[in-house]
Amino acid sequence: MRSGLDVDGLSAFVSVALGLAITRFTTLFPTPLSHPLVDVAQLGAPMTWITLVISAGLKEIYWTGFVVDVGFWSLIVYIFLVTVIHLKSEITERGKKC
C-alpha cells in the first residue's frame, strides 16, 4: 500500500511531465496577439515564450516565459490529479461504510 507521500510524489512528477507536454503543445498555434501581417508569430500560452519572424527564419526563445508556462500547466494538472485522487478515496471510503 502506498503512503500519501508516494502519491504526492507521483502526482508531482506526472504533473510536471504533462505540464511540459502541454507547454510544447501550445506552441503549435499562434497566440491571438501574433502579428501575421508583419510575419511575426508568437507561440505559447498563457505566456508567449517563442517569437518567430517567418520571413527571416529567426526564432527567439524566452526562457522565463517557458518556465512560467510549465509551472502554470503543471499546477493545473496537479490540482486536477489531487482532486481526482481525493474524490476517488472518498467514494471508496463511502462504499466501505455501506
**81 located within any domain:** yes
CA dihedral 96, 82, 17, 58 (to 10 degrees): 150
**60 located within any domain:** yes
Residue 71 has a pLDDT of: 96
The total of structural domains in the chain comes to: 1
Q: Which segment of 4-13, 25-34, 78-87 scores lowest on mean pLDDT? A: 4-13
Nearest to 33 by CA among 51, 21, 59: 51
Is the model's pTM score more than 0.85? no
Residue 6 has a pLDDT of: 62
Residue 62 has a pLDDT of: 94
Strands (E), the chain: 40-43, 50-53, 58-61
Q: How far apart are CA 86 and CA 26, in angstroms?
A: 29
The mean per-residue pLDDT over the stretch 56-73 comes to: 93
Give the domain extent around 64.
4-90
In tens, the pLDDT along 33-59 reads 777 667 888 899 888 899 988 888 899
